[in-house]
Structure 1
Amino acid sequence: MAKAEGESSFLWETIKTIFWALIIAGVFRSVFFQPFWIPSGSMKDTLLVGDFLFVNKMSYGYSYASCPNIRIQRFGIDLDAKDLCGFLDNDNTRLFGSEPERGDVAVFRHPVSGEDYIKRVIGLPGDRIQMIDSVLHINGEAVEMEPAGTFVEPYGPQGPQGRMPRCFNDATVGLGGTCEKERFLETLPNGVTHSVLNVGYSSRADDTAVFTVPEGEYFMMGDNRDNSTDSRFSQAGGGVGFVPYENLIGRANRVIFSSAGRSLLFFWDWRGDRFLEPIE
């Protein structure tokens, strides 16, 4: 009898430990930092496929988007942030709110699909944004651009999704070859300088209409300009469109870990030079 009681007590203590561990992890993820794994190449070469980082949720305050999506397919769990914190939605305000600065690399919730995206904040409320011949214009002025060499990477499947990179030399590169992209340094009006990549001309992406950013919303763009689904493309057309203030999740400041392989366990593919790399 004593043995059965001991086993029951041990089981109950284990359940309580797991319960409180999940609660603490959930609070930490909802209030302070959210882990984010880079699945695509839209932010190269600032962020690479396989970079792992924590998003600082304290940067911009809190809204419904601060609540996590909880998806565990094995157990049939699919809870969206709106399912958990929908009562905070639709007023475009934030608790302890702080506005992003131009040039921030920010994670946000897609206004339609609810998926988490990561892009650079380019347009602030009231700004006029336009691309002319592959050059970003803000409020009628071209941003400063200077050549910064060539970004190279192996041409092959990248990350768990096995996506192939786009290359400036598409016509000549083969599997296992060297994929090249033109690299430029772009300086925004507030002095933030970062690299952008070019793989060719696209009439939709490189020559656009003028976008006037509404109040309470932001214009987001990827640094890999010809391989980014962002605010240049309407939500109706599968793009991002303007991003409401309440949809911001947080700012990305530093790469914690990076792996070029299909799995974290493939230690031979780890990028040691990117561990703790600041995000600029």
Structure 2
Amino acid sequence: MSETDSTPAQTPAKAKKPRSETRETLSFLLKLALVVLVFRSFIFAPFSIPSESMMPRLLIGDYLFISKWNYGYSRWSLPWGFPPIPGRIFGRDPARGDVVVFRGPPGDDVDVIKRIIGLPGDSIQVRHGQVILNGVPVPKQRVGDFLLPLSPNYGTDACDSQFQDVDAKGKPVCRYMQFRETLPNGKSYDVLDKGEMPDRDDTKVYNVPAGHVFVMGDNRDNSSDSRFPAPADALPGESSGMGYVPLERIEGKAVVGFWSTDGSANWFLPWTWFTAARLNRIGEGF
């Protein structure tokens, strides 16, 4: 027998399928989207401030993270409110003074940020601009004026002429009276008051129903909140706001600011992204 005949037959190796870069890229993007969805739904979510209702604590152009686990989870904890989880799971009640983001009226399609003032069972009233909680006036102490530099985010169209001023450097600012409010649990924060406004500074007594909270904006004279009924409940010609906010509509608690801009940046001029930044506001907690 020849040497060639005695050599075992070799089994041809199976050819490996060529890797599809497109398939791997799509797989990576799908996994990344899933991680982001889980993180945003159950841990932290970003939120931007679109209005002045929470000044002085929050300004237009502020960006912050809200934590999602503090009060449990509901359908509104998830993007687009889907799937529709009934009620809340792992539910916990918030504390007075917490700044929360919730899904608000009129179409349950807008995220709103306010401060919780009243819990289920509380009675709330405002007299001459002072909050009366369960029959006891909430201490309100006058502090230094709040000065907000005028900028594209908050210009002369937003600041009435009576409040326009200049700071020590001669730069135009908006000047508002500022007060320090302290709730019974010791939580303190600053609020703004532009003067007597009867529909906001003198209200009826509100009795917060079970499963709901009473919210207010820190910019007391420029906030549509629980002092006014939800649009569906407002009478013809009556101002509308948030009404009592159901606990299951709360999405999360404000935790920390991670960016802030005065609105003067130009996307096509990268250096303006930094000149417009309000760096002293980054990292502020609640």
Question: With structure 1 as the length reference, what TM-score do the two structures score?
Answer: 0.84
The within-5 A match list for 1:75-154 is: 80-81=80-81, 84-86=82-84, 88-89=85-86, 93-114=87-108, 115-154=110-149
Is residue 274 of structure 2 the alignment partner of residue 271 of structure 1?
no
Confirm whether residue 165 of structure 1 aligns to residue 158 of structure 2: yes
Q: Tell me the CA shift for residue 238 of structure 1.
A: 3.1
Q: Hey, what does 2:54 align to over in structure 1?
A: 43
Q: Map of 1:58-77 to 2, 5 A cutoff?
A: 58-68=69-79
SS at match of 1:108: strand
Give the counterpart letter for 2:94 in structure 1: P
User: Cα offset for 1:164?
Assistant: 4.2
Q: Tell me: CA distance 1:173–1:240, structure 2 relative to 1, closer, same or farther (3 Å).
A: same
Q: CA deviation at 1:231?
A: 0.6
| 1:191 has 2:186 as partner | yes
Q: Is the 8 A contact 1:111 1:247 kept in 2?
A: no
Contact 1:158 1:164 in 2 (8 A): no
Check 1:140–1:254 CA distance in 2 against 1; reply closer, same or farther (3 A cut). same
Larger radius of gyration: 2
Letter in 2 for 1:195: D
Q: Residue 259 of structure 2 corresponds to which residue in structure 1?
A: 257
Q: Deviations over 1:174-229 (max 9, x none)?
A: 89732110000000111111100011221111111111100010000010111111
Quick one: distance in 2 between partners of 1:63 and 1:215? 17
Do structure 1's residue 209 and structure 2's residue 214 form an aligned pair? no
Determine the structure 1 residue equivalent to 2:240: 238
Contact 2:216 2:226 in 1 (8 A): yes
Aligned to 2:6: none
Deviates more, 1:255-264 or 1:121-130: 255-264
Structure 1 position 171, deviation (Å): 2.9
Q: Deviations over 1:36-90 (max 9, x none)?
A: 011111111111111111110011110011011xxxxxxxxxxx31xx222x24x
Q: Which amino acid is the alignment partner of residue 165 of structure 1?
A: A
8 Å Cα contact 1:42/1:227 also seen in 2: yes
Distance 1:164-1:253 versus aligned 2 partners, 3 A rule: farther
Offset of 1:278 from its aligned partner? Answer: 1.3
Instruction: Quote how far apart the aligned CAs of 1:156 are.
Output: 4.5
Report deviation, 1:275: 1.3
How far apart in 1 are the matches of 2:163 and 2:212?
Answer: 42
8 Å Cα contact 2:98-2:253 kept in structure 1? yes
- Given the superposition, is the C-alpha separation of residues 19 and 217 from structure 1 closer, same or farther in structure 2, using an over 3 Å criterion? same
TM-score, normalization by structure 2:
0.82
Residue 76 (structure 1) aligns with: none
| Structure 1 residue ranges without an equivalent (≥5) | 69-79
Paired-residue identity, %:
41
Letter in 2 for 1:85: P
8 A Cα contact 1:123 1:219, kept in partner = yes
The gaps in structure 2 that reach 5 residues or longer are 1-16, 232-238
Aligned to 1:20, what secondary structure does the other structure show? helix
Say if 1:17 and 1:164 are closer, same or farther in 2 by CA, change over 3 A: farther
Tell me the matched-pair count. 253
SS class of match (1:226) = coil
The structure with more helix, counted as a fraction of residues = 1
Deviation at 1:172, TM superposition (A): 6.4
Does the C-alpha gap of structure 1 residues 172 and 212 become closer, same or farther in structure 2, counting only changes over 3 Å?
closer
Closer/same/farther in 2, CA of residues 34 and 125 from structure 1, 3 Å limit: same
| 8 Å CA contact retained: 1:56, 1:251 | yes
The alignment partner of 1:22 has SS state of: helix
